[in-house]
Amino acid sequence: MDARGHISERRNTEDDVVVSVVIPTHNRAWALPSAVESVFEQRFDRWELIVVDDGSTDGTGDWIQKHAPRARYIYQDNRGVSTARNRGIEAARGRYIAFLDSDDRWLPEKLARQAAVMEGEGADVSYTDEIWIRNGRRVNPKKRHKKHSGDIFLQSLPLVIVSPSSVMIRREVFSDVGLFDETLLACEDYDLWLRITCRYPVKYIDEALIVKTGGHDDQLSHRWWGLDMLRVYALEKILAVDELSPERARAVMEEIVRKGRVVLGGAKRRGNDPAVRYYEDMVNRYERRLET
């Protein structure tokens, strides 16, 4: 930032733009400056920044206008992160789209390194390693978070190993697989990565190029019970829509059973009888399919 608190900026013309950076945000004025500043500090200048404000009431728009007026600011009524990201994708002009969550930040080499790999190897999708900060302290990922490169569909079934803030995606991929599912208020990234990894190899760049923060109360994972219900929905959708190999279809059904049992256990503990009946029937149905 300069002496007045403004972020040093350079406006790119449409012909200059290689990467469109999309930051969705909702009442994150406390975190947004760090994210935006990390974009303007990139050692790569052929980008545009699109900030999609999902109905913030904390002065987010005023901050952008005052401190980062050259960012493309889009305001929408509060409709969720999926809709916000989709608005950014639709407005993007770059060959590639990169997402940055408003509570994360990038290291200065992120875009330069990733764009070079994408261009050099002709990759359609890539993601990077990350540094994790939880409640202000650095933590190490567990073995289940191990990153993979290439065909990572099966590795993506148990959980998302791709952080949204680490990805770069060629625009045409969205024309093929579709945008974020706007009916999902959480686990929208799991749903999209299943659709992408089902059809595209993914290049993993084994360098920590983002700082991913967590532990704050407004994270979606803290606000929803039974997130596996949404993951089951995504799994059933991919099973119905995409033509999966027998191996992949079986792996998806096995994951539906595993996650369905988790949701079933939670429903029983909460005395949610309709959910118990629904997930008992679902688990039994897929177990029978796996037996045939």
The DSSP output letter for 78 is S
Q: Which residues lie across from 134 on neighbouring strands?
A: 137, 214
Q: Which pLDDT belongs to residue 145?
A: 87
Number of Cα atoms under 13 Å in the Cβ half of residue 17: 20
Residue-wise pLDDT tens digits, 115-159: 999 999 999 999 999 999 988 899 988 888 899 999 999 999 999
Q: How confident is the model at residue 13 (pLDDT cuts 50, 70, 90)?
A: low
Predicted confidence (pLDDT) at residue 35 exceeds the cutoff of 60:
yes
What's the pTM?
0.90
State mean pLDDT over 184-202: 96
- Rounded to whole angstroms, the Cα distance separating 188 from 24 reads 13
Q: Which pLDDT belongs to residue 6?
A: 42
Q: Which of 58-62, 71-75, 203-207, 238-242 has the lowest mean pLDDT?
A: 238-242
- Which of 242, 246, 236, 248 has its CA nearest to residue 154? 248
Coil, helix or strand at residue 60: helix
Residue-wise pLDDT tens digits, 55-65: 999 999 999 99
Q: Which pLDDT belongs to residue 142?
A: 84
Mean pLDDT of the chain: 91
Predicted confidence (pLDDT) at residue 2 exceeds the cutoff of 90:
no
Torsion angle defined by CA atoms of residues 89, 92, 97 and 102, in that order, rounded to the nearest 10 degrees: -70
Q: Which pLDDT belongs to residue 219?
A: 54
- Rounded to whole angstroms, the Cα distance separating 62 from 52 reads 13
Predicted confidence (pLDDT) at residue 5 exceeds the cutoff of 80:
no
Question: Is residue 114 within 8 Å of 168, Cβ to Cβ?
Answer: yes
Residue-wise pLDDT tens digits, 241-286: 878 999 999 999 999 999 999 999 999 999 999 999 999 999 999 9
- Looking at CATH, the fold of the domain delimited by 19-222 is given as Spore Coat Polysaccharide Biosynthesis Protein SpsA; Chain A (3.90.550)
Question: Is residue 202 within 8 Å of 121, Cβ to Cβ?
Answer: no
Tell me the one-letter amino acid at 268: K
CA–chain centroid gap for 208, Å, is: 17
Extents of the domains making up the chain: 19-222, 227-291
Residue-wise pLDDT tens digits, 176-186: 999 999 999 89
Residue-wise pLDDT tens digits, 78-117: 999 999 999 999 999 999 999 999 999 999 999 999 999 9
- Rounded to whole angstroms, the Cα distance separating 148 from 159 reads 13
Q: Which pLDDT belongs to residue 3?
A: 35
CA–chain centroid gap for 287, Å, is: 31
Residue-wise pLDDT tens digits, 231-242: 999 999 999 987
